[in-house]
């Protein structure tokens, strides 16, 4: 299958080109030429299949022409070797817990699959690949752990010194092997600007093959569609009309859900739930898409002022505001409402939400209150122990550190310190290239 850019100015690309480039040369995001639909027989069998079996059929639908099924099967079994349970909370309200992976956030799934798909191409072609990622926390840990020890791939994670929580920092600075953590004397925006310049620098790109691991990569987006099918399969054949609420920042996660719907998955409606960075909810109401600087909130993995995957959603719906807003509605949540929700759901339902999931819960609860004949699940994107401070503020109790996170605590931090300039990064990368 070929991939085209949402900006329509770059030539069509093969799968390998699309996923090793990440961003198209015209600045657009790659989309498959066709989405198509999965067959009716799949939707009959789906309820009796497990997560890996479902994921394989969806992966073959998109990637089957480019990667042998046996290799896809191996990638999926390696990526999804942890449970993704649908948990009942109350009444007809459920959550799909995506936080049982190695860094306890849903980004594990996209990062692990992307790592294995790139690894397939580099080992087949005996290439070396260098992944650059700027992070304010979650992306760096998911990407570093996803690519850890993969042959032929080196990873450089840039992060702002002193501005990442210590649990998060440990998750990508203690690994060693093919993972290098670069501590930048600047902000997250500085890190991102350095990475962007690196991709645009011809001389550097002649010397080393560079790729980006952020959420604009198709290889990270596609595997996120798998779990929507699995969520619906766990609801069962006889469930009422299903709605799904997705806590959203860059809108990759919900975009994958909308792709699943396009393939025929019976989810009647999506709710795009954001913190006060409500660019997309505003668009859904007014038809005007006005990106602006992000504002810091306690659901900080969703502090995004220019949601990059929105370009894919717009294209999926042929830029029709009417069509998008008939499938998706927005919901906005303040920090106070997040804290109140964590507190209330913990007290009354004995379920501990993280700040991102709390936004999803509140959005779904409010929707279901007005639509009693429907049922739904929201996506829980991170384990509450990743956001101990906010959760303790809400409930007054400490959150125990689960073993997956505790195992990083004793590791030794190893970093390279650089000033926040592109020249410093370029010199460092050049000195690393043997
Ligand atoms: C990245 C992230 C999100 C937002 O996901 P998008 O795909 O960017 O919309 C939500 N919650 C958590 C915990 C995240 O790490």
Beta bridge partners of 182: 158, 416
Q: What is the mean pLDDT of residues 387-408?
A: 92
Pick from 99, 137, 138, 357 the residue to mutate for probing ligand 1's pocket: most ligand atoms within 8 Å of its CB. 138
C-beta 274 within 6 A of ligand 1: no
- Would you say residue 429 has pLDDT above 80? yes
Atom 14 in ligand 1: residue holding the nearest Cα: 301
Q: Which fold has domain 83-104+222-395?
A: Rossmann fold (3.40.50)
Output the pLDDT for position 404.
Answer: 87
- Comparing 239-253, 376-390, 403-417, the range with the smallest average pLDDT is 403-417
Atom 2 in ligand 1: residue holding the nearest Cα: 301
Residue with token string 């992306």? 139
Of 163, 194, 99, 126, which Cα lies nearest the Cα of 424?
Answer: 194
Task: List Cβ neighbours of 19 (8 Å cut-off, separation of 6 or more).
Answer: 114, 117, 118, 121, 217, 218, 219
Q: What is the mean pLDDT of the chain?
A: 95
Q: What is the mean pLDDT of residues 389-402?
A: 93
Banded pLDDT at 198 (limits 50, 70, 90): very high
Q: What values do phi and psi take at 289, rounded to 5? A: -105, 105
CB atoms within 10 A of CB 200: 10
Output the pLDDT for position 433.
Answer: 72
- Per residue in 28-65, pLDDT (tens digit) is 999 999 999 999 999 999 999 999 999 999 999 999 99
- Per residue in 294-324, pLDDT (tens digit) is 898 999 989 989 899 999 999 999 999 999 9
Compute the distance between CA of residue 284 and CA of residue 377 in angstroms, rounded to an integer: 21
- CATH 3.40.50.1100 intervals, the chain: 3-54+107-219, 83-104+222-395
Beta carbons of 383 and 354 less than 8 angstroms apart: yes
Whole-model pTM: value is: 0.95
Distance 273 CA to ligand 1 centre (A): 11
Position in ligand 1 atom list of the atom nearest CA 251: 9
- Would you say residue 70 has pLDDT above 70? yes
Output the pLDDT for position 153.
Answer: 95
Distance 49 CA to ligand 1 centre (A): 27
Q: What is the mean pLDDT of residues 378-406?
A: 93
Percent of the chain with pLDDT over 90: 85
Of 312, 147, 307, 294, which Cα lies nearest the Cα of 213?
Answer: 147
Distance 124 CA to ligand 1 centre (A): 32
Output the pLDDT for position 218.
Answer: 96
Banded pLDDT at 74 (limits 50, 70, 90): very high
- Per residue in 89-121, pLDDT (tens digit) is 999 999 999 999 999 999 999 999 999 999 999
C-beta 250 within 6 A of ligand 1: yes
Banded pLDDT at 365 (limits 50, 70, 90): very high
Q: Is 388 helix (H, G, I), strand (E, B) or coil?
A: helix
E strand or H helix at 322, and its extent?
Answer: helix 321-327
- Would you say residue 434 has pLDDT above 70? no
Q: Which fold has domain 3-54+107-219?
A: Rossmann fold (3.40.50)
């Amino acid at each position: 299958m070929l991939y085209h850019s949402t900006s329509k100015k770059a030539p069509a690309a093969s799968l390998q080109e699309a996923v090793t480039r990440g961003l198209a040369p015209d600045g657009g995001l790659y989309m498959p030429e066709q989405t198509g639909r999965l067959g009716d027989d799949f939707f009959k069998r789906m309820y009796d299949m497990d997560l890996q079996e479902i994921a394989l059929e969806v992966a073959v639908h998109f990637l089957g022409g480019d990667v042998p099924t046996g290799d896809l099967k191996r990638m999926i079994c390696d990526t999804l070797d942890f449970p993704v349970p649908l948990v009942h909370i109350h009444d007809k309200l459920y959550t799909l817990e995506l936080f049982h992976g190695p860094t306890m956030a849903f980004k594990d799934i996209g990062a692990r699959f992307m790592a294995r798909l790139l690894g397939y191409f580099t080992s087949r072609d005996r290439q070396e690949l260098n992944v650059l990622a700027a992070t304010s926390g979650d992306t760096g840990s998911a990407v570093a752990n996803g690519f850890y020890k993969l042959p032929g791939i080196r990873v450089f994670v840039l992060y702002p010194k002193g501005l990442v929580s210590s649990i998060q920092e440990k998750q990508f600075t203690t690994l060693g092997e093919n993972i290098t953590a670069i501590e930048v004397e600047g902000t997250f925006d500085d890190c991102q600007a350095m990475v962007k310049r690196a991709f645009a620098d011809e001389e550097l790109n002649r010397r080393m093959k560079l790729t980006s691991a952020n959420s604009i990569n198709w290889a990270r987006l596609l595997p996120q569609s798998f779990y929507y099918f699995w969520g619906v399969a766990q609801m069962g054949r006889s469930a009422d009309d299903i709605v799904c609420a997705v806590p959203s920042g860059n809108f990759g996660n919900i975009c994958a859900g909308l792709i699943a719907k396009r393939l025929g998955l019976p989810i009647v409606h999506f709710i795009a739930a954001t913190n006060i960075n409500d660019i997309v909810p505003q668009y859904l109401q007014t038809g005007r898409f006005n990106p602006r600087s992000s504002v810091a909130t306690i659901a900080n993995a969703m502090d995004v002022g220019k949601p990059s995957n929105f370009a894919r959603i717009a294209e999926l719906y042929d830029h029709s505001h009417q069509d998008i807003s008939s499938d998706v509605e927005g919901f906005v949540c303040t920090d106070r409402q997040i804290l109140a929700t964590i507190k209330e759901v913990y007290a009354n339902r004995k379920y501990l939400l993280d700040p991102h999931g709390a936004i999803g819960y509140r959005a779904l609860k409010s929707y279901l209150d007005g639509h009693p004949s429907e049922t739904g699940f929201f996506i829980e994107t991170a384990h509450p122990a990743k956001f101990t401070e906010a959760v303790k503020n809400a409930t007054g109790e400490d959150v125990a550190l689960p073993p997956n996170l505790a195992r990083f605590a004793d590791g030794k931090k190893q970093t390279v310190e650089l000033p926040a300039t592109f020249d410093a990064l370029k010199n460092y990368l050049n000195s690393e290239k043997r």
